[in-house]
Amino acid sequence: MTHKHRNAIVIGAGFAGIAVATSLAQKGYDVTVIEKNTQIGGRARQYHCQGFTFDMGPSWYWMPDIFENYFRTFGKKPADYYQLKRLDPSYSVVFGADDRWRIPANLQELGALLEQYEAGAAEQLEKFMAQAKYKYEVGINDFVNKPSRSITEFLDIRLLKGALNLDLLTSLSKHVRKFFKHPQIIKLLEFPVLFLGATPENTPALYSLMNYADLKLGTWYPMGGMFEIIRGMETLAKEMGVKFHTGETVNQIEIKNGIATGVNTDKDYYPADIVVGGADYHHVEQHLLPTQYRSYSPQYWQKRTMAPSALLFYIGLDKKLEGIDHHMLFFDEDFKLHANEIYTNPQWPSKPLFYMSAASVTDTAIAPEGKENLVLLVPLAPGLEDSEEKRSHYYEIIMNRLEKLIGQSVKEHVIVKKSYAIKDFEQDYNAFKGNAYGLANTLKQTAILKPSCKSKKVANLYYVGQLTIPGPGVPPSLISGLVVGNEIEKDFAEL
């Protein structure tokens, strides 16, 4: 089927925007992607300073099968664009100054590690992972590839039976505690959902599929940084004929009689047969459309549970640190308290948890010789008041803790420092409430209960990205782009 005479305009060049653009180009559309920032990649942009290269957003490469599937859709593979390295240890979790768990890539070794802390944990891990594997296979292959436009999509008997086995009605918190008692094992298994946008108590146990992705499929790193994936996707998109316009802001989607006819930018007008919002869903819906064509009210948006925002520091050191790992989670403070301060009682955390990515441990090319590249991240409640004073205060807190926990001086060796938080997410990505990770994966915001990937009022307007199906994270954003490309093909096949 060829639609070469048909124009598709995609707003936003993040993972989901590039994915849907490539999918539509493959189906014969003439596709233009319009990006307000001067660099593509959305949250996955890069920052360069004094020979250091920082990935500004995502730093975890999980679910390699989804990246393989993405490139395979277009007859390619990830290795055509970037080199992957599996990390071992996958990451480490620091519970205190002399209490660090280095999580081995090998599952049996992990079982042996857990056994040291809780008798029978190795066997329990096998049972837990068998269930997590089932959820991953059914969840990722059947569940997340559905466009979630109608409940009837879920009436397939395998999925209905699956829904019980998928544990949609149990919380992850309860599920994990059926298998394990040791508080540190529980933290290890609950941590992946902290970034999905809800406390483990409010996240369906379906998301133990994240533990399968984490502990079995492994943590990987594309040499050169996460931006290499964006580079590869851009190269592929351009090979398929996609055009990119950067440094151009979309101001309005033109609608006539319930049909989007084009988009106005600060530089030009682009006629369109299809429009896809790959920028922040709330922004596209509430700011680029006339009121009568919005599917959701401002009240609806105010009631959504957003995934966290983040305070980030991009740090370059004039020396190497000893004995650190590529990914380090600092859980030396109260996990539950911090989660509560993000979700239940939104405020700046009293005792922040934080995460450190030290990609220069794996990849010497991203920092000058003998120097270290660090990204520090504190998860925050979205919508907080953001100020330089707050940022400085938290910089001191986490730097002091970092030095204490790794037993080395860090602060006096900082030669590059840039902070990034709620205001920047709002300004650079039009992120609703300055969110970093999209919409939370709570039970009330799963599948058809998320904002729809198709406008209810504009016949040819669609949405991709982390505020619609299937949810936050890089792999779901890729899936989102492919799912919506296929929906557009189905909806307009007869034209």
What are the C-alpha distances in Å from 311 to residues 22, 71, 187, 350? 32, 32, 21, 14
Q: Are 185 and 118 in contact (CB under 8 A)?
A: yes
Quote the tokens at residue 416: 């590059």
CA 486 to chain CA mean position, Å: 22
Residue 101 in any domain: the answer is no
Residue 412 in any domain: the answer is yes
Residue 103 in any domain: the answer is no
Q: Are 189 and 127 in contact (CB under 8 A)?
A: no
- Which residues, other chains included, contact 276 with Cβ-Cβ below 8 Å and sequence gap of 6+? 8, 9, 10, 11, 17, 20, 21, 24, 461, 462, 463, 464, 484, 488
Same domain, 292 and 187: no
Same domain, 118 and 177: yes
Give the SS3 label for residue 222.
strand
Quote the tokens at residue 200: 């483990």
Residue 100 in any domain: the answer is no
Neighbours of 178 (CB within 10 A): 12
- Quick check: 77 pLDDT over 90? yes
Question: Of residues 157 and 455, which shows the higher confidence score?
Answer: 455
Closest CA to 464 of 474, 449, 454: 454
Same domain, 355 and 412: yes
Q: What is the pTM of this model?
A: 0.95
Same domain, 310 and 388: yes
Same domain, 356 and 408: yes
Q: What is the mean pLDDT of residues 250-272?
A: 98
Model pLDDT for residues 307-348, shown as the tens digit of each residue: 899 999 999 999 999 999 999 999 999 988 998 898 889 999
Same domain, 26 and 172: no
Q: Are 11 and 250 in contact (CB under 8 A)?
A: yes
Distance CA 325, CA 92 (A): 7
- Quick check: 6 pLDDT over 80? yes
Position 265 scores a pLDDT of: 98
Position 325 scores a pLDDT of: 98
Position 445 scores a pLDDT of: 81
Same domain, 335 and 364: yes
* CATH number of residue 155's parent domain: 1.10.405
Same domain, 319 and 421: yes
Q: What is the mean pLDDT of residues 410-419?
A: 98
Model pLDDT for residues 177-198, shown as the tens digit of each residue: 999 999 999 999 998 877 666 7
Position 151 scores a pLDDT of: 57
Q: Is 164 exposed, middle or buried (0-12, 13-18, 19+ CB in 10 A)?
A: exposed
Distance CA 32, CA 19 (A): 12
Q: Read out DSSP for 103-159?
A: E-SSHHHHHHHHHTTSTTHHHHHHHHHHHHHHHHHHIIIIITTS--S-GGGG--HHH
Same domain, 137 and 169: yes
Position 355 scores a pLDDT of: 96
Distance CA 422, CA 172 (A): 28
* CATH number of residue 66's parent domain: 3.50.50.60
The percentage of residues in the chain with a pLDDT greater than 70, rounded to a whole number, is 94
Query: How many contiguous H segments (helices) and E segments (strands) does the chain have?
Result: 15, 19
- Quick check: 397 pLDDT over 70? yes
Closest CA to 469 of 42, 144, 15: 144
Residue 96 in any domain: the answer is no
Position 160 scores a pLDDT of: 56
Q: Select from 429, 449, 471 the last residue of a domain.
A: 429
Same domain, 71 and 162: no
Q: Select from 376, 394, 429 the last residue of a domain.
A: 429
Position 147 scores a pLDDT of: 75
Position 5 scores a pLDDT of: 62
- In which band, very low, low, confident or very high, does the pLDDT at 276 lie, cut at 50, 70 and 90? very high
Question: Of residues 143 and 267, which shows the higher confidence score?
Answer: 267
Model pLDDT for residues 205-237, shown as the tens digit of each residue: 888 889 999 999 999 999 999 999 999 999 999
- Quick check: 162 pLDDT over 70? no
Position 4 scores a pLDDT of: 52
- Which residues, other chains included, contact 434 with Cβ-Cβ below 8 Å and sequence gap of 6+? 309, 382, 383, 384, 386, 421, 422, 423, 424, 425, 426
Q: Are 16 and 22 in contact (CB under 8 A)?
A: no
Distance CA 436, CA 447 (A): 20
Q: For the chain, what is the domain count?
A: 3
- Quick check: 1 pLDDT over 80? no
Neighbours of 96 (CB within 10 A): 12
Pairing between strand 309-317 and 250-256? unpaired
Position 442 scores a pLDDT of: 76
* Sign of the four-CA dihedral 316, 322, 325, 329: negative
Position 135 scores a pLDDT of: 85
- In which band, very low, low, confident or very high, does the pLDDT at 118 lie, cut at 50, 70 and 90? very high
Q: What is the mean pLDDT of residues 33-51?
A: 98
Residue 177 in any domain: the answer is yes
- In which band, very low, low, confident or very high, does the pLDDT at 166 lie, cut at 50, 70 and 90? low
Same domain, 315 and 266: no
Query: Which residues span the domain enclosing 128?
Result: 108-217
Q: Are 53 and 211 in contact (CB under 8 A)?
A: no
Same domain, 349 and 425: yes
* CATH number of residue 365's parent domain: 3.30.519
Q: Select from 429, 457, 477 the last residue of a domain.
A: 429
- In which band, very low, low, confident or very high, does the pLDDT at 354 lie, cut at 50, 70 and 90? very high
Distance CA 268, CA 249 (A): 10
Distance CA 429, CA 101 (A): 35
Residue 88 in any domain: the answer is no
Residue 342 in any domain: the answer is yes
- In which band, very low, low, confident or very high, does the pLDDT at 164 lie, cut at 50, 70 and 90? low
Bridge partners for 414 per DSSP: 317
Question: Of residues 1 and 339, which shows the higher confidence score?
Answer: 339
Q: What is the mean pLDDT of residues 293-306?
A: 95
Position 203 scores a pLDDT of: 82
Position 448 scores a pLDDT of: 73
Weakest-pLDDT range from 20-34, 443-457, 474-488: 443-457
Distance CA 166, CA 160 (A): 9
Position 204 scores a pLDDT of: 81
- Quick check: 385 pLDDT over 90? yes
